[in-house]
Structure 1
Amino acid sequence: MSGPTADVSVRVAWADDAPAIAALQVRAWPALYADLLPAEVLPDDVEAVAGQWHQLLSRPADARARVLVALERNRVVGFALTSPATDPDADPVADGELAEVTLDPDERGKGHGSRLLQAAVDTLAADRFTRAVTWVNVGDDTLRTFLTDAGWAADTAHRELDLDGTGATRVKQVRLHTAIG
């Protein structure tokens, strides 16, 4: 006799998921970006953030721009964004981008990230991309290790972003890639 199994899944997000995604973002981003951004610039108004998510989910700019949600039962515990890659050196037909992967800090280590990553890659492959890219903050060893353990590798591209437009808040990133499809 086998034991009970968890009711976990990943699916494409619906507009009705906007409040749950927003609440997760508001909870998770302070831990994810504490070393990069001052607390006052992180989103804290769940309703305002939910409005932005609802807009994105209702009217995506590109049919291949997707938001995926990781669920435990019917509770959103993570989300990922996929789209065509926008880098200047990207091949718009071949290169898809994993723009973000965010998990509820209390849900890490339970397999949600792996399921979400696999679903994101499967989604990019279904959209006929043959390579996936993502940008990782130089200091985010946890995410970089997670991705490299899953077969992603640095491709020598790097960038520095000016997050506040003044030069006071800068973040260095490296690009990782993997073949898909």
Structure 2
Amino acid sequence: MVAADVSVRVAWPADAAGIAAVQLRAWRERYDDGLAARLGLDDATLAEAWQQSLARPPEARHRALVALAHDRVVGFAVTGPSPDPDADPAADGEMAEFTVDPAEQRAGHGSRLLQACVDTLVADGFGRAVCWVEATDDVLRAFLTDAGWGPDGASRELADEAGSGSVKQVRLHTALA
């Protein structure tokens, strides 16, 4: 029997192009091809932003994780202290991003990535984790709910800088005991 060569690890600056490519593919599927253009993003611009972020995170508890199939990035997540106004920054962590390449979903990458996020948040001393999910993303919400996350009643609406649209989100949380 041959084991699949899959893993999750802390992202390195060299992963920036792979993360950017996954993020843009996910955006194109989730929204439309015009979102990246409206935001002025292309592969190179987004990869440069990721390169800088990975090289100089804001603090030690801000981490990016990558799900890999062989040496190819197939998903990524970002963890750190929750910036929410009602959060306790010492106790409340956040999974700020959680994206699996649309072509790689249902292959176990999301489960491995989620477990790595939880393990990372626990190692960083957080007792609770939150994640903002688009109100219309039933697939991600069901995935997280099945893993023990639940709504805590908070919601928000994010508008794009051009004022041409907005995204409604709900907050999910889980205890990290």
TM-score with structure 1 setting the length? 0.92
Amino acid at match of 1:26: L
Q: How many residues align?
A: 177
CA distance in 1, matches of 2:61, 2:30: 26
Identity of aligned residues (%): 60
Amino acid at match of 1:41: R
Partner of residue 48, structure 2: 51
2:131 corresponds, among 102, 114, 134, to 134
2:98 corresponds, among 98, 101, 116, to 101
CA 1:145–1:180 in 2, change beyond 3 Å: closer, same or farther?
Answer: same
1:170 corresponds, among 153, 166, 169, to 166
Amino acid at match of 2:155: H
By how many angstroms is 1:40 displaced? Answer: 3.0
Amino acid at match of 1:11: R
SS at match of 1:22: helix
Partner of residue 8, structure 2: 10
**Hey, which bits of structure 1, 4+ residues long, moved more than 6 A?**
none
Amino acid at match of 1:66: R
Please tell me the root mean square deviation across aligned C-alpha atoms, in Å: 1.6
Gaps of 5+ in 2: none
TM-score with structure 2 setting the length? 0.94
1:180 aligns with 2:170: no
What pairs with 1:35-114 in structure 2 (closer than 5 Å)? 38=35, 40-41=37-38, 44-114=41-111
Cα deviation digits, residues 52-85 of structure 1 (max 9, x gap):
0010000001111100000011111000010100
CA 1:52–1:38 in 2, change beyond 3 Å: closer, same or farther?
Answer: closer
SS at match of 2:161: coil
SS at match of 2:157: strand
Cα deviation digits, residues 4-62 of structure 1 (max 9, x gap):
11011000000111111112222221112339x74632565211111100100000011
2:17 corresponds, among 13, 16, 19, to 19
CA contact (8 A) 2:78 2:98 kept: yes
CA contact (8 A) 1:30 1:42 kept: no
Partner of residue 34, structure 1: 32
